């Protein structure tokens, strides 16, 4: 069962939490119980393949909501690529999460969610009625849109509407979410990511509209996006143990909407030993400021070169508070926040290349900066930076820092450059999305 962060007495089953995505009271769904993994898991977790590891974590989290055979199939089809741990130094590592089809960590959540949703609605009446497909709304500041578009492309009885801020994503990111066509459409919003997120939430909170169009969301407001992201925290920790027996990881997480970080907290709740968590942000630093003084003051987001973190009102803050019982002191004991501006990020891209001979994207560069500072505070830490996207997705920024033709663009991304962009320009007003749905 799942409850709303705004009302613990509001309880729903897995299907309602995943398919409807957002409670009517504008909270976020959380499981009523996050049970620690059993001893039998810990006896074998280091030798399981990645998909098998994910299956046992998902089974524990979902507590019998899905038959084992079906759940194993969902996880195995979703997690068919690796997340290798790459050493920078003996105490600093990068977990490469960009080996999926769209070269971003969002592939983990999007692929799992697409298959889970397909399973949950397979017996619904609308499955035999193409006039009423499942309509998935997505607000993206970068990689979410492309990952969801790829995961749901040509999935029967679904259509996806992606909202993204005009000028707020890189050229190749934009091509990933605007060129597929078929059941994927894109709205280019003349505003910020926060405007896109507000438009989606407004529609999802409209009960009549949600029922009429069978609406759901694929953003990290959807609890099914976070579960598979917890898998790779375990995978990272066991890779670290293969190098340093008994080492506890300090995860340094590039953070925007804080879904990735929340997935780490869920992993921790399930029993994964974590030394500390460092939230690394750009100048959109609402959470680092909260951790510093206890004051939560969401702002209008400011565009940066680490665009996926350009979020002024992080949705998953509600889940973070819920996990820590709304106790600021407990949260800041477990999480630290650090923020950096664009110039520092650019310098970090160059420094990582020079010092480590490693090419890091702008989001990873922000996390690398945070890791350097953290090592000064905790010299014994083994830091794991979450590498959330392949650097070729930010080709202009990367070449500005490292030189023209310095970045290899994988073929599955390069082939998009010549494709026609298919999108509709709209104002940052929820009515624009409502009108689009009603067409």
Cα-Cα-Cα-Cα dihedral of 157, 160, 161, 167, to 10°?
Answer: -160
Confirm whether 212 is domain-assigned: no
Average pLDDT, the chain: 93
pLDDT of 416 reads 84
Rounded-to-integer distance, Cα 421 and Cα 93, Å = 37
Can you tell me the mean pLDDT for 261-269?
97
Query: Which CATH number fits the domain that encloses residue 293?
Result: 3.40.50.1100
Whole-angstrom CA distances from 400 to 350, 403, 415 are 10, 6, 22
Residues 279-296 have pLDDT tens digits of 999 999 999 999 999 999
Residue owning tokens 């962060």: 5
Report which listed range, 9-13, 249-253, 435-439, is most confident.
249-253
Rounded-to-integer distance, Cα 183 and Cα 159, Å = 5
269 CB contacts (<8 Å, ≥6 apart)?
A: 34, 36, 323
CB atoms within 10 A of CB 312: 18
Confirm whether 126 is domain-assigned: no
Indicate whether 263 pLDDT > 80. Answer: yes
Q: What is the residue range of 304's domain?
A: 82-104+224-409
Q: What is the pTM of this model?
A: 0.91
Can you tell me the mean pLDDT for 350-354?
98
pLDDT of 22 reads 86
Pull the structure tokens for residue 399. 């070449």
Residues 41-62 have pLDDT tens digits of 999 999 999 999 999 999 999 9
Nearest to 412 by CA among 100, 80, 78, 79: 100
CB atoms within 10 A of CB 188: 21
Residues 378-416 have pLDDT tens digits of 999 999 999 999 999 899 999 999 999 889 989 988 888
Pull the structure tokens for residue 242. 């293969």
Confirm whether 266 is domain-assigned: yes
3-state DSSP helix/strand/coil % of the chain, to nearest 5: 45, 15, 35
| Alpha-carbon torsion (250, 252, 255, 259), positive or negative | negative
147 CB contacts (<8 Å, ≥6 apart)?
A: 100, 102, 104, 106, 107, 109, 110, 111
Pull the structure tokens for residue 343. 């110039």
Q: How many percent of the chain have pLDDT more than 70?
A: 98
Q: What is the DSSP string of 87-148?
A: ESSSSEEEEE---STTSBTHHHHHHHHHHHHHHHTTTSGGGG-TTSPEEEEEE-SSHHHHHH
Confirm whether 171 is domain-assigned: no
Confirm whether 24 is domain-assigned: no
Whole-angstrom CA distances from 70 to 45, 77, 119, 170, 251 are 21, 11, 8, 37, 31
Overall domain count for the chain: 1
CB atoms within 10 A of CB 298: 15
Confirm whether 11 is domain-assigned: no
Confirm whether 213 is domain-assigned: no
Describe the strand order of the beta sheet including 92-96 as a list of residue ranges.
85-87, 92-96, 382-387, 249-254, 276-281, 335-339
Residues 72-131 have pLDDT tens digits of 999 999 999 999 999 999 999 999 999 999 999 999 999 999 999 989 987 675 444 445
Confirm whether 109 is domain-assigned: no
CB atoms within 10 A of CB 427: 12
Rounded-to-integer distance, Cα 267 and Cα 272, Å = 6
Residues 129-185 have pLDDT tens digits of 445 788 999 998 777 888 988 898 988 888 999 999 999 888 888 998 899 988 999
Q: What is the DSSP string of 149-170?
A: HHHHTT-TTEEEEEEEETT-S-
């Amino acid at each position: 069962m799942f409850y709303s962060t705004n009302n613990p007495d509001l309880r729903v089953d897995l299907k309602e939490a995943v398919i409807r995505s957002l409670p009517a009271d504008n909270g976020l769904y959380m499981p009523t119980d996050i049970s620690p993994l059993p001893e039998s898991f810990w006896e074998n977790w280091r030798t399981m393949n990645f998909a098998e590891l994910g299956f046992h974590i998902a089974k524990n989290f979902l507590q019998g909501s899905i038959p084992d055979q079906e759940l194993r199939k969902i996880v195995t089809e979703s997690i068919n690529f690796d997340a290798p741990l790459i050493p920078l130094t003996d105490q600093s590592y990068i977990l490469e999460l960009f080996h999926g089809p769209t070269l971003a960590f969002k592939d983990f959540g999007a692929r799992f969610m697409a298959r889970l949703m397909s399973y949950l609605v397979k017996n619904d009446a609308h499955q035999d009625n193409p006039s009423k497909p499942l309509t998935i709304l997505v607000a993206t500041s970068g990689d979410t849109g492309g990952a969801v578009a790829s995961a749901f492309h040509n999935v029967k009885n679904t259509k996806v509407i992606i909202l993204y801020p005009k000028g707020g994503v890189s050229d190749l990111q934009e091509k990933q979410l605007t060129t597929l066509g078929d059941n994927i459409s894109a709205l280019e919003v003349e505003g910020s990511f926060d405007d896109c997120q507000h438009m989606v939430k407004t529609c999802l909170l409209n009960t009549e509209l949600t029922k009429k169009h069978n609406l759901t969301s694929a953003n990290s407001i959807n609890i099914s996006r976070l579960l598979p992201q917890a898998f790779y925290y375990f995978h990272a920790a066991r890779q670290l143990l293969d190098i340093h027996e008994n080492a506890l990881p300090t995860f340094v997480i590039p953070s925007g909407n804080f879904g990735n970080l929340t997935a780490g907290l869920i992993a921790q709740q399930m029993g994964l030993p974590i030394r500390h968590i460092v939230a690394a942000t750009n100048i959109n630093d609402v959470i680092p400021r909260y951790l510093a003084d206890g004051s939560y003051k969401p702002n209008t987001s400011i565009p940066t070169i680490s665009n996926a973190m350009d979020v002024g009102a992080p949705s998953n803050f509600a889940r973070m508070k819920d996990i820590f019982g709304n106790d600021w002191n407990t949260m800041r004991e477990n999480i630290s926040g650090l923020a950096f501006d664009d110039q520092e990020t650019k310098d970090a891209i160059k420094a990582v290349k020079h010092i480590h001979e490693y090419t890091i994207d702008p989001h990873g560069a922000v996390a690398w900066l945070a890791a350097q500072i953290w090592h000064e505070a905790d010299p014994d830490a083994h830091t794991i930076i979450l590498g959330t996207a392949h650097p070729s997705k930010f080709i202009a920024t990367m070449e500005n820092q490292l030189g023209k033709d310095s970045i290899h663009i994988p073929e599955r991304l390069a082939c998009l450059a010549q494709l026609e962009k298919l999108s509709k320009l709209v104002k940052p007003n929820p009515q624009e999305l409502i009108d689009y749905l009603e067409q």
